[in-house]
Each structure stands twice: as C-alpha cells, then as structure tokens.
Amino acid sequence: MIVYIALCGSTGTINRVIHSTPLGIINEGSDIRELFTGENELDSILRQDSGIGQSCRATMKMEGNPIVFVTVMAMNQQRLVLAYDIDDPSQISRLVEMSLNAAALPELSGQEPYGSGYYEIQKLNSRLINYQRTLAKNNVRLQGLLEESRKAQNTIETLERDLLTGLYTEKAFYDKAAGVLAQNPETAFDIIAVDIEHFKIVNAVFGTESADRLLSHLAICLLTIQTDALTLITRARADTFFAILPRNTDTYKKLDENILLFLDGYPLPMRIQIKIGIYHVEEKALSVARMCDLALLAANSIKGNFGQRFASYDRSMREKLIFEQKIVNTMVESLQREEFLVYLQPKVAVDTSRIIGAEALIRWKHPEFGMISPADFIPVFEKNSFIYSVDLFVWEKVCRMLRDWKSKGITGIPVSVNVSRTDLYHEALPETLTSMITAYGLSPEELHLEITESAYVQNSRQLPDAIRRLKEMEFIIEMDDFGSGYSSLNTLSELPIDVMKLDRLFLYQAENDPRRQKVMQFVIDLAKELHLQVIAEGVETEDQAGLLRKLGCRYAQGFLYGRPMPEAEFLACLAAAPK
C-alpha cells in the first residue's frame, strides 16, 4: 500500500506532509513534482483553482517505479495532494479515513474549531504557563544565589580572620584600617605594634602548642582595649600584633595594667617580655603597612630593655635601623675575616693591685665604620641570635690564649667570658664548652662564665637548670651587673653562682650617699656569708678604691686598673704588676 498526503502551494512546494507510507518519501520544502515522472499533467491539475478534485496517473520515483493515482484538490489557497495505490480492496476504508481527516484540517477549512479567538487564547495561556514556570525556576535559582552569597560572605569573613586568634588577618586589617582613617579624617589615631620578645625560644623550647596558647591568650588580653568600631586588631605574623585605635593615653594605662596581670604568673618557666611600639598617625598619606612598620620599629628599639614596655616612634629610630641593617649585612663576613677582636681587662686585688684574672671583651674593627662599640652591636646580635656564633668565636679565642699562656708558664690567671642569655637555651651548651676546654688542654676553673643578672631575672624559672648543669661540669659561674636595677636577694640564694660582680652604678650611687653605702655593705657581707667572691666593676678613682677597702670588697675591675686591651698589652701589664 502506498499513501502519500501533503499540503502544497500552487507552485508545488510542499508545506506539510500529512501522511507517508512508506515513510520519508519526500519532505517539506521540496517540490511535489520531484516525486513523479512526467510532470506536465501534474502541472495542470496543480494550477486548477476550483474546489473539485482532479486526478491523474503518474509514475513515482521510488523503488519499482510504481504507477499511482494522484488526486489534487484546491482548498483555502492550498493544494491537498493525495497519491495512492492499494493492493487489497479492504484498504479502501483506511484510505478514505485518511483522506477525510486530511480534508478536515483547520488549514484547509479556514475555520478555527472553537471560534475565532480560540488559538490566540491558547497561545496566551501557553505563554502565561511558560512565564509562571520560568518565574518558578528563577525563584529557585534566586534562592540558590542568595544561599551562595551567604556562603561566600561567610567564606570572606573566615578568610579575613586569623585561624588561631580570631583576630583580623594582616591584609584584612590593612584594608579596614585604611577605611577607618579615610572615613574619620578629624580623629587622631595611633597604630601600635605588640611583640613578644624571644618568642622563637618559646616555640623551640616549649613547643608549638605552648607557643600557640601564649598567642591566643595575648590576643584576648589585647581585645580589652577594643571598645568601639574604630579600634581594629590583627595578628599580622608569628608573634607580632598590630592595632589601630583613637589616641587616648588612658587606653595605654589600661593596656599596661592588663598586660601586667596577663604576665603575672603566666604558666611558662620563662619570664615573658612584651614590647609595644606606638606610631602617632600624622602623615595619613602613608600606607597602613608602612605605619605598622614604624610602630614595630619603636617596639624593637626597646627589646632587651627589661624596665621599658612602651616606646613611641621618632625619626632617629629610622637612622638607627639603617645603621643596624648595615651591621647585619656585614656581620658574617666580618666574623670569617676575624675583624672581631678579643680584648682583656684586668681584675685586681684592691689592696695590692695584683692581677687575679681578666674579663674577655669583644670589639669590632669594622672596615667601614671603624671601631664599633659593643653597645651598638651586641643588642642587634642578641635579637637575631648571631650572638651565639660570636660568643663561640670569643670562647675559642680565649681557650687558645690560655693554652698559649700555659705553654709559657703563665698560670693562675683565669679569664671570664660572657654567656648571653640566649646562649643558655642551647641544650648542648655545657657539652660544647666542655669539649672546647678539653681540646685545648684546660680545666673548667680556668674559663669563668659571666651571666648578666638581667638574664637570671628574665628567665628565673628556667636558667637555674642550665646553670646547675654547668656547675656540675665544674665551671666557675659569675653573676655580672648585680645591682643594675633587677636585683633580688632571692637570686643569690637560689642560683649556684661563685662570683658576684657589683654593677658600676651600685658604686657610683654609693660613693657620696651613706644610706647606699650601708646597702652596699650589707650586700658585700651577705655575699661573704654565702661564700661568694665579690668584684666591684667600674672603679675609676682612688676614692672609689678607698671606699671598697672600707666596705670590705677585696677585688675590683675598672679603668683605674686598666682599660680593655689587646692580649699583648695585657701580658705586659701582668708582667709588671705586683705578684
């Protein structure tokens, strides 16, 4: 059975294929004539314009070239084309049904089945339904976007916060602080830097958990000054915090009190030192990061100063920083070239001026700056931990001197070397010193170890263990600078020291003050009761030497008996001194 029903235009272009058996005979857009051979008769019935159908026989261009009936009827400006061939009379009813259905199509009748406005209404309904569906989809999408926005906001806030302390991150602080300054041009602001001195030691000795706990607790302490939206705080890096706050001296009093409470009895066997630098915001054109650098510079300027917690930035600090940076840039090469020199200052018996020993002191003969004072480079080396390398250099130089002296028959003149407080945190320090004296054929009594009193006070709960280990190896321990402002009589009873060196300030204050002389007399008598040797430092005049004799202090050191000098000059003084 072949049945092909299509709607065509008067020119024969197929507008719609209604039925095709078999399928795909020819599709819309093609010319109906392409389906047949012998097109002339088909042309004539396509051009007819009456509503009466006309038929012809035509050969179809398909397999077998079947000859079919072709009927064309003009209906409503279109042509209904019916091509068919049936093999079985029973198929006639099916052919009639398909023909009637085709003739009833709205395109051919010209009437809408439910009235003239039916399809427009249907179109509007369809558009409305599609709009409602689109609106519902957009609402769902909007809800998703809002949820994503909330999540993004939470993510941003999380990224702006330090995970350990909950304070702002450094970048977030810089951005928000710049906004605070811009929005409040008439308000006077300060930037402060808060730094934990020797925090690396806390991390290395007590572990990251203790170090993190210290940082968290300090952050809580700092939050006590955050009383309004203009005060912002960040943990910028490691142990450094920054804050911006409206200028108010009462705030610093409150902060000082809170830090004192925080540090008092903090559960670490080490005395924690916190330094705070203040930059008064005057040049608002500077970046916040630069302002923080200047505040940190002020904080760094008082590191190593036990009695001072706050410092304000001034321009001289910048010049000092540049000088210190030049020192740092050349320190390693200078040590390798042995531009550091070891000088010796005699220790003498006050009554006879007999030399009983010496203190080794370091000097730096810098190729650019000449002789640099230890007061200028020792604090820098203590900050960056290079002091241990310098001290190792001095210890070995002194051991070599002592060995050479022994080979020349010079004995009984011990030399004391300085041990920095940071050196004492090197666990292998006792073994290092023992190996050194063994290598040079010395005994521990020949190399005395001087430790400043400030080191004892700042680390009073940990240092006794380090010093006891040194004592167990039979080194002589000298407490340097006793009475320089940190004094505690408990220190004398708690630490296993052998020699107490009175700070020069102790002597200067007592020289013309009877009350201070009594205090000094008491300290000397107490030291004798504890079987400690007492050496007064900074003796420059005969009057001071006379006062020491009166107070019963038997040994002294100072310019009166000799300035720090090279080894050769010291040996000459030793040879000329009373025996």
Catalytic residues: 537
Q: Residue 26 and residue 419: Cα distance in Å, rounded?
A: 105
Burial letters 180-203, b for 16+ CB under 10 A, else e: bbeeeeeeebbbbbbbbbbbebbb
Helices (DSSP H) in 282-373: which residue ranges? 288-300, 315-336
On whether the CB atoms of residues 235 and 164 are closer than 8 A, the answer is yes
DSSP 89: G
Which run of H or of E encompasses 59? strand 54-60
On whether the CB atoms of residues 241 and 219 are closer than 8 A, the answer is yes
Which run of H or of E encompasses 14? strand 14-21
What phi, psi does 323 have (nearest 5°)? -65, -45
Q: Residue 165 and residue 168: Cα distance in Å, rounded?
A: 9
Q: Residue 231 and residue 243: Cα distance in Å, rounded?
A: 7
Provide the terminal-to-terminal Cα distance of the chain, rounded to the nearest Å. 144
Q: CA nearest 528: which of 552, 496, 504?
A: 552
Q: Look at phi and psi of residue 342 and say left if phi exceeds 0, alpha if psi is from -120 to 50, else beta.
A: beta
Q: Which residues contact 232 (CB under 8 A, 6 or more apart)?
A: 168, 173, 176, 177, 180, 226, 243, 244, 245
On whether the CB atoms of residues 4 and 30 are closer than 8 A, the answer is no
- For residue 466 the two structure tokens come to 């380090």
Q: Residue 36 and residue 59: Cα distance in Å, rounded?
A: 6
Name the β-bridge partners of 194: 241, 276
On whether the CB atoms of residues 112 and 118 are closer than 8 A, the answer is yes
From residue 560, alpha-carbon distances to 265, 464, 481, 544, 570 in Å are 44, 34, 18, 10, 14
Residue linked to tokens 């009193």: 453
Q: Which residues contact 147 (CB under 8 A, 6 or more apart)?
A: none
- For residue 473 the two structure tokens come to 């190896």
Q: Residue 42 and residue 33: Cα distance in Å, rounded?
A: 7
Helices (DSSP H) in 169-229: which residue ranges? 170-183, 199-201, 208-222
From residue 324, alpha-carbon distances to 330, 338, 372, 422, 434 in Å are 10, 19, 11, 19, 33
Q: CA nearest 560: which of 576, 535, 533, 537?
A: 537
